[in-house]
Amino acid sequence: MITCFIRYHIDPARKAQFEHYARNWGQAIPRCGADLIGYFSPHEGSATLAYGVYSVESLTAYEAYRKRLSEDPLGRENYDFAQREKFLLREDRTFLRLASGPHAALVKP
């Protein structure tokens, strides 16, 4: 299992648009095959950083999920919404694997 952390730099004057975008992904992402942990908008501290977090089985599963998401009507609508409203200033993805805790699978170095 890998987890995708998306760090967004958003226009702080358009936080409401980001939250609308996040709610749409809350429907589309699970429907297209990823385990959505959540979308997080600024509250205290930075007014420009927001996050989206979800897990998939592998990078191969991620590629299949992304294809389904691009073909999903709400997914396409959300991509278009972000392009039109221009509230996303930057988007960075990082894929991580759980490495701690008794629930993590032990991997020999």
Name 28's bridge partners. Answer: none
56 domain residue, yes or no: yes
In a domain, 21, yes or no: yes
**What CATH number is attached to the domain comprising 43?**
3.30.70.100
Does residue 87 form part of some domain?
A: yes
If one counts the domains in the chain, the total is 1
**Residue 108 placed within a domain:** no
In a domain, 70, yes or no: yes
Give the Å distances, CA to CA, from 59 to 2, 9, 10, 97, 101: 8, 24, 26, 11, 23
Q: Is the pLDDT of residue 108 over 80?
A: no
What does DSSP say about strands 49-56 and 88-96: parallel, antiparallel, or unpaired?
Answer: unpaired
- Which position has the higher pLDDT, 46 or 106? 46
User: Looking at the domain assignment, is residue 105 inside a domain?
Assistant: no
* Within-domain flag for 69: yes
pLDDT digits (tens, 9 = 90+) for 14-63: 999 999 999 999 999 999 999 999 999 999 999 999 999 999 999 999 99
pLDDT at 99: 85
Q: Which neighbouring-strand residues pair with 35?
A: 55
User: What's the pTM value of the predicted model, to 2 decimals?
Assistant: 0.87
Structural domain containing residue 87 = 2-96
DSSP string for 51-103: EEEEEES-HHHHHHHHHHHHHSHHHHHHHHHHHHH--EEEEEEEEE----STT
Query: Does any domain span residue 106?
Result: no
